[in-house]
Structure 1
C-alpha cells in the first residue's frame, strides 16, 4: 500500500477553493495559541500545528458553511476551534500511547515531557471553547461540546477494549466514531449550522462527516500494516507494537484457527512480542484476507459519505467534497 499520485488533487482543490478563508483561520490560530505568561504553550503548540498537517478538519467547517451559502466570518472562529480541539487530542493521545513520532517528527511529549503535553492540550481545549463562545451560537457550542465529550468517551472505550482480542467490529466502529469521526461530523454540522442551513441539510452534512471520518480511520489503520512512514507520519507497525485492536486485526482474529488465535493472544492480548512477530502478523492478515475486507469496508463508508451529499446544494464545493471521500480510500493502492 502506498500513496497514489492523484489522490492529493481533491484536497488541493479544496484548499484552493478555501484559500482566503484558510489564511484567516491560520492567522487566528497563531493569535490564539499565544500566551503572555507561559511561553512553552506556543512552543509546544507550534511544534504540532505547524508540522505540515493538511488542516482537513477546519477545511470541512469552511466547506460546509460555504456550501450552504454562508457569507459571514463566524466559520473562521469555528474552523480554528476545531483545529485546536484536534491538536489537543493529538497531544493527549501521544502521552497515552507513549508515541515517539507524529507527522514524521518527534512528538511533543518526547521533546518536552508528558506534563507539558497534557497541560498545553488542556489550554487548547479552553481556547477552543472561547472561540465557540465568540460565535454567539449556543447550538454551535452544543455541537462542538458534544463532540469533545464523544472524543474523550471514544478514547476511554479504546483504553478499556485495548488488548482484548474478543473486541468486535461493532465496538471498533464505536471507538472510531468517538476518536475520529465525531470531530469530522461536528466540523461539517457546525459549518452548516452557522450558515443557517435547514435541518435536512445539517443532518446530511453530519452524516457525510461521520462516514468520512470512519473511512479515514479505517484507511489509517490499514496503512499501519502496509504503508510507509512517509505516508502515515509514524513508524509502520506502531499499532501492532502498541497492541491496538484495529479493523484488519479484528477481522483476522474472527477467522483465525487455533494457532493463529494463540499468536494474537500472545502478541496483542499479553504483549509478548518477539523478533519477526510483525512479519508473522502481516502474513496472517494476508492469509485471512483481512486487508482486502477492511478496504472494502472503507470504500463502503466513503460511498455513504458521498450519498449523504445528495441532499446538499448542488455546487462545485459539493463535487470536491464527494471527490474527497474517494481521496480518503485512494491512499490505499
Structure 2
C-alpha cells in the first residue's frame, strides 16, 4: 500500500499547478483505499511474486484508485456535495469546473496506467468497469425521486456504480498472477458481492450514522432525492400518512428543516436499516463463499476480514 500511495502521488504530478494542488487535497482527505487494497491482496492471494522490475499489481492498484477518485470528483459535482471523507469536498474548495476537469485528468491517467501494464485483458476488464460505472451513475439519475423504483432496479444501480469496480479490482489481481479462469471468476464474484454489501451499508449509514463516522453530511441521499433501499423499505412498510411524507420529500423534492429528523424516525420505526443490513449480509456471505476455491492463508483471511469490516460499519 505504501508503494501504491507513492505511485498515486507521483502520477498526480503535472506542470499545471491546479492538478497537483487538487490532488494533494484528495490525498490529504485519506479514505480507506479499499479498492487498490483489493487489487494488491488478490494478486498476492493468487501467488503473484513482484520483483524490482515488475510491480504490475502496484500500478494497477493505483489505476483502480484513479478511476474511483475520478468518479468521486464528478459525483460530488452532480450531487452538489460539500463534504467528502469528513473534509470539504474538492468542488467546495476548488469549484465545479476544476473538479470536473481534474476528474477527466485522473480518468486519462488511469488509462495511461492500463496501457503501461501492456495487457489487453487487463485493459478490457478495467475499461469495461469504467463504462459500467458511468451507466450506473446515469441510471441512478434516471430513477432519482421515483419511489415506484423496484428493488431490483436499485440493485442494478449499485451494481453499476459500485460493485463493478470492486469486481474489476479483484479480477485483475488474478490476471497479473496468470491464474486459471476459475480463479479470475471467483475473485470477480468476491468483488461483486463485496461491492454490493459495501454500497448497501453506505446507503444505510446515510440514515443511521454519526456525521463524523460517515465522512459526509447525514441525510445527503434524502436531500438529493436518491432512491436507496432504506427509503424503499420504509416506504413499503409505512402507513398511508408515512407514504405521503416520502412522496413529498423524495418524490417531489419539497423539504423543510424538520423533515430529516422525521425521516430518520420513520426509517427506525419501520426497521428499514435492519432490512438493508440483512440484504448486505447476504451479499457478504456470498463474497466469503467465493473465496472457498482458495486455500487458507493470511491473505484469504485478510479478504474475509475486509468483508466483515464492510458490514460491521453499520453495527
What range describes the TM-score normalised by the shorter chain of this pair?
over 0.9
TM-score, normalised with respect to structure 2: 0.97
Equivalent residue in structure 1 for 2:161, among 179, 185, 199? 179
Tell whether 2:57 aligns with 1:48.
no
Tell whether 2:207 aligns with 1:240.
no
1:136 corresponds to which residue? 118
Equivalent residue in structure 2 for 1:284, among 261, 266, 274? 266
1:112 corresponds to which residue? 94
2:12 corresponds to which residue? 33
Tell whether 2:68 aligns with 1:86.
yes
Q: Distance in 2 between matches of 1:311 and 1:43?
A: 44
Contact in 1 for aligned 2:190/2:287 (Cα 8 Å): yes
**Residues 276-315 of structure 1 correspond to what in structure 2 (within 5 A)?**
276-315=258-297
Q: Distance in 2 between matches of 1:56 and 1:313?
A: 23
2:37 corresponds to which residue? 59
Equivalent residue in structure 2 for 1:273, among 246, 249, 255? 255
Tell whether 2:152 aligns with 1:152.
no
Equivalent residue in structure 2 for 1:124, among 100, 103, 106? 106
Q: Work out which structure has the larger RCO, using CA pairs closer than 8 Å and 6 or more positions apart in sequence.
A: 1
Between 1:254-263 and 1:234-243, the stretch displaced more is 254-263
SS in 2 for 1:243: coil
Q: Distance in 1 between matches of 2:267 and 2:96?
A: 34
Equivalent residue in structure 2 for 1:199, among 181, 195, 205? 181
2:309 corresponds to which residue? 327
SS in 2 for 1:34: coil
Q: Distance in 2 between matches of 1:172 and 1:98?
A: 21
Contact in 1 for aligned 2:4/2:59 (Cα 8 Å): yes
Contact in 2 for aligned 1:204/1:312 (Cα 8 Å): no
Number of residue pairs matched? 311
1:215 corresponds to which residue? 197
Q: Distance in 1 between matches of 2:261 and 2:9?
A: 43
How far off is 1:245 after superposition?
Answer: 1.0
Q: What is the RMSD of the two structures over their aligned residues, measured on CA atoms?
A: 1.0
Contact in 2 for aligned 1:29/1:80 (Cα 8 Å): yes
Q: Distance in 2 between matches of 1:113 and 1:204?
A: 41
Instruction: Write out per-residue CA displacement over residues 214-270 of structure 1, whole angstroms, 9 at most, x where no aligned residue.
Output: 111111111111111111101111111111111110111122332111111100011
Equivalent residue in structure 1 for 2:57, among 75, 95, 102? 75
Where in structure 1 are there 5+ consecutive unaligned residues? Answer: 1-21
Instruction: Write out per-residue CA displacement over residues 8-50 of structure 1, whole angstroms, 9 at most, x where no aligned residue.
Output: xxxxxxxxxxxxxx121111111111101x1101111221133
How far off is 1:312 after superposition?
Answer: 2.2
Contact in 2 for aligned 1:49/1:87 (Cα 8 Å): no
Tell whether 2:5 aligns with 1:23.
no
SS in 2 for 1:121: helix
Q: Distance in 1 between matches of 2:85 and 2:302?
A: 25
How far off is 1:284 after superposition?
Answer: 1.6
